[in-house]
Structures are given as C-alpha cells and as structure tokens.
Amino acid sequence: MNCSLMLCRGRRGALRPLKNGQSRQPNGFTLMELLIVMAIIAILMLIAIPTVGALKKKANDTSAIQSVRAIMQAQSMYESTYPTLGYACTLSALGGDPKSGPPTPAASQLLQADLTSGVKSGYLFTIGNCTKKNLNGNDLITGYQITATPITVGQTGDRAFCADQFGSIKYDAAGGNNCTQNLQ
C-alpha cells in the first residue's frame, strides 16, 4: 500500500502513523461531544413543552368561542327558516348531510358535522335548557342555552363558555357550567 505524507488507513479504517512517526485524529465528534449536544437539546425541549401545551389550550379556547358563535348563528337561521318551531333544541337538528336530500327540521344542514357531533377541539358542546311555549297545539322553542365545556379541565381547556338566544357569550373560569362572566 502506498502512503503519502498525509494519513494512511489500513483495511478496517484504523489509523496508522504517518511516515514521519506522527498520527492523526479521525474527523468527527467524540462521544462526549454528542452527549453534551443531546443534553442541551433535551433541556430546550423541556423548556418548550409547557409553552406548547399553553398554546394548544389557548387555541382550543378560541375554537370553542368561534364554535359557540357558529351555533348561535345556526340557531338564528333555524328560527327564521322554521318560525313555527322556533329554535332547535339539539345539535343534530342543526346538522345533517347535504347528500341525504333537502334540509328538514330534524336535519337543517346549518352546521358542519364536526360540530354537530358535540365534540370539537377538546370541548364538549350541548344545547339545553330549552324553553317551550305551546302555540296552537305546537311546541314553539323560545329559548335555549349553548354550553361548551373542556373535556379535561386544565388539559384541553381552562374555561367553559355559554350563550343563549340573546346572543351574549359568557364564561366560567373554573371550566364548569356556571357561566357568569361576560366575554370581552
């Protein structure tokens, strides 16, 4: 094997001394350098993970507020489309598949399926506390309450949101159903 004045490698890549008796270190990182870099990356990840969780909860809160607004808008459209019935008392009445035919009072096709399922972005959505008035033998729904509660308080969201037929959204800072504080 002909070696130059630089480095000569044998069969397995082991270093052999140069012609003048000196040896040279291989290029690359040592195990200690790699362990230090991995430790720094792990520390940075531990710092970033709580921030990512807080951002996810904030995004879920924002999505819940927008979903409550969408349900209120769908309720308004339902009431104007079916004035003899008033408001819808279930999310499924506001939903429905457009491929199944024209809208009906039981499936008005005003909300998307992800919201009519009752679960979206870490929140559970319900319509309840429906107030009825009997008008000419028919029940007319004159009031409702929308609630959006976190599936797991502190993980999927911190606050619960509520709204009614009057259009103001309120929240419960503890994540329950006692919405008393106005949303700014």
List the strands of the sheet with 119-120, edge to edge: 119-120, 123-135, 138-150, 160-164, 169-172, 181-182
CB environment 91-114: b (16+ within 10 A), e (fewer): bbbbbbeeeeeeeeeebbbbbeee
Structural domain containing residue 60: 31-182
Instruction: Going residue by residue through the chain, which has 184 residues, state the pLDDT in tens, using 9 for 90 and above.
Output: 555 544 454 444 555 555 666 666 567 889 999 999 999 999 988 887 777 778 899 999 999 999 999 999 999 999 999 999 999 999 999 999 999 999 999 999 999 999 999 999 999 999 999 999 988 888 899 999 999 999 999 899 999 999 999 999 999 999 988 999 998 7
Reduce the DSSP state of residue 134 to 3 states and report it: strand
In a domain, 6, yes or no: no
Q: Please give the tally of structural domains in the chain.
A: 1
**pTM score, whole prediction:** 0.74
In a domain, 159, yes or no: yes
71 closest CA partner among 178, 173, 183, 164? 164
